[in-house]
Structure 1
Amino acid sequence: MPVGFWTVLRTIDLRGSALDAEAVRRALPRPEQDPATVQGDVLALIEDVRVRGEQALLDQADRFDGGRPPAVRVPVEEIVAAEQGLPDDIRAALEITSERVRRASTAQLSQPVTTELGEGARVQQRWLPVRRVGLYVPGGRAVYPSSVVMNVVPAQVAGVRGIAIATPAQRAFGGRAHPVILGAAGLLGVHEVYVMGGAGAIGAFAHGVPAVGLDPVDVVTGPGNVFVAAAKRAVAGLVGIDSEAGPTEILVIADGAADPELVAADLVSQAEHDVLAAAVLVTDSAALAEAVDAAVERRAAATFHAERVRTSLTARQSGIVLVDDARAAVVVSNAYAPEHLEVQTADPWPLVADLTEAGAVFVGPGSPVSLGDYAAGSNHVLPTGGTARFAAGLSVRPFLRQQQVVDYSLDALREARPVVRALADAEGLPAHGDAVDARFS
């Protein structure tokens, strides 16, 4: 396949290969920098925040973000002013996005269910919101008011009362938070916002910073760079997390019926996020592959973030994968487990049923990933780095705790008594059985 002067997308030819998950993962490497490679640095930053608190956050903002902020905690009046100053088009877009995400999030709520196991024997399943959450809104190479919506709305739908937001200092605003981020927070009724970024912000959420009024949270969610993903891994267990939503990924399954311009546009759209972003096309059509490569070269050179896009697309994590047929494309995608998966084929739905390993699936030319980033109603905080094999996109679930309520009458307990006695004795824990017997002495 001819390659342009950029050698934009490298070609990985898996045609005729025996495909298994491990072989696919070797052929499609992730970015060279993954959370494990920065874990040592991240642990040191988190410990610095735990020990030195506010001073560590100020120093880290000066070192890694947009300069030393005037204050770590944003004054409420600054948030209110930012909300009032939102341009009309941005306000309208945020309101529409919030309403769509709220409706989709509400559909995720589970209702209490009581199971009757016999006369007087019942177990109730109920879901309770966590007390307090910390939501991370990135702000390095771009500003993401949409991430405010994607984090805050599911937490509100779940019933969380304590919501705090962290976002990095912006050099263009004198080390303060970006006003559109603050405006989005105010629009959603959140007035606890901290100017802190990266691993330090995650550590601050987990440990608390009394000097700035930041109490520890129960759950941390939100996307970010590799340092944020590594920090979430480091504090998991001390607090709950959603997933390691690190550098973005898009995998497009397309056949000869796909429009190469649309495929190329979608690959470029995700590559503009980050130099570590991954953009992968999987196709059984060599002609489409050649056309997409040419379109990517043209679009990438003309886009606003051309240098960033070029770095992402020419890196080891991006490329075109040639396969024998659509079923092989499914095998490749499931083994890779992308954050975003697009299916642009003549007949996508038979494939979609088997495409189980992905953060979110976008079907057909009318469903680009960009729609999901903003206005589809789905959540754009999604698992990356192959963690879609076991992790899910952000929803109400990370903000809820399932709790079982056991309600047995004494008559029902009497019926279960010999079961408890037998198992307690078998396990060498006779006091367990004695606790039941005591009720019938």
Structure 2
Amino acid sequence: MAMRALPLPAISAGLLAAFVGFTSSFSVVLGGLIGVGATQVEAASGLMALSIAMGLCAILLSLRHRMPISVAWSTPGAALLAGAAAPQGGFPTAVGAFLLAALLVILAGTLRPLGRLIAAIPGSIANAMLAGIIFSLCLAPVKAIASEPLPGLAIAATWMLVGRVRRLLAVPAAALVAIAAILATKGGGIDPASLLPRPVLIAPSFDWQSAIGIALPLFLVTMASQNIPGLTVLKVNGYQPPAGPLFTATGLFSLLAVPFGGHAVNLAAITAAICAGEEAGPDPDRRWWAGVVSGVAYVIFGLGAGAVTAFASLSPLLIEAAAGLALIGALTASLQAAMASADERNAAAVTFLTTASGIAFLGISAPFWGLLAGAAMLALVRFGAPAIGSAQPAATPVVRAPETGPIERRPLPGSL
């Protein structure tokens, strides 16, 4: 094909989307996988598998539907894993939970009632659970500054200054500064063999605690915070893709990544706006190139996952600081959406506090209990019982949140 026939804006947008998507959240993914028991080698394998799977999925879907369909790993899902304790069976049990979550996504794509049930989760509860999941990670920049003042301040200052000029590049710039600081102070400790891509096959194991405490919250947060907003971004930009097949495809590619340690692949939200918007060119019918190019770039980035993981392992605190900065936008947006409805604020607060507490009861992690506690509180309000601490009289009618909810109408910053 002649160069003049190539839509250069779409190609540029695809490269930008992949760069932003990878550098903004790879640290969250590594933290999540290590949080549930992965070794450095297993975490590198998972990062590589996810990047290649989402790249191939984006290429396939963009070519199939001739739409700029962007695919990403589940950043909120990785944040969930980072806040969870390693399951009793170690990383193989976590991999079993990843497998169950992928199967649930496939079912949501093939069984319409299940998909509608997920979409009907009140936005206040879904957003409050997400805010509770990422709250502790957002404290990492402050901890990094206290522990390593100079590099910590450099990372935070870069994030703030670049964000004033181009918000989209603020987190990637901070991540690059973190890697540069690690190389400058501890670069000599890297084993050259660890820089090569090394896929590691992990046999899954299963137990009911991980199924409820990891698989179910991972499925819910991936659908509510990534797949549904990602679909909405495409529709806002004039595309009408079939929801079910897209969800099913991301679930299938998740299944391909799971044996190598990947947790979840899903539709992108923020990077989807780059590929589907006017930044990808004036002709909407040619923007599908952006989805293809971003997919190719993700595959290439995936081959460097070993090197990225090796650098990150030298100073986890600085990488966690970059991860925390990447999630601040998601935290503020989710808290705002969670508290938007006065009738649902108490339920959202209960969900947030229970999730953020990090408690694990009966071997089941806090997000599940947060979702359960918030749903119970909301049920009391909707069935006419006065909300604790509410200034409203019990007779005030409660308006049910629409099915789409705030989380569906507006993609969360940081949900890539």
TM-score, length basis structure 2: 0.27
Structure with the higher fraction of residues in strand conformation: 1
Structure with the higher fraction of residues in helix conformation: 2
TM-score, length basis structure 1: 0.26
- The higher radius of gyration belongs to 1
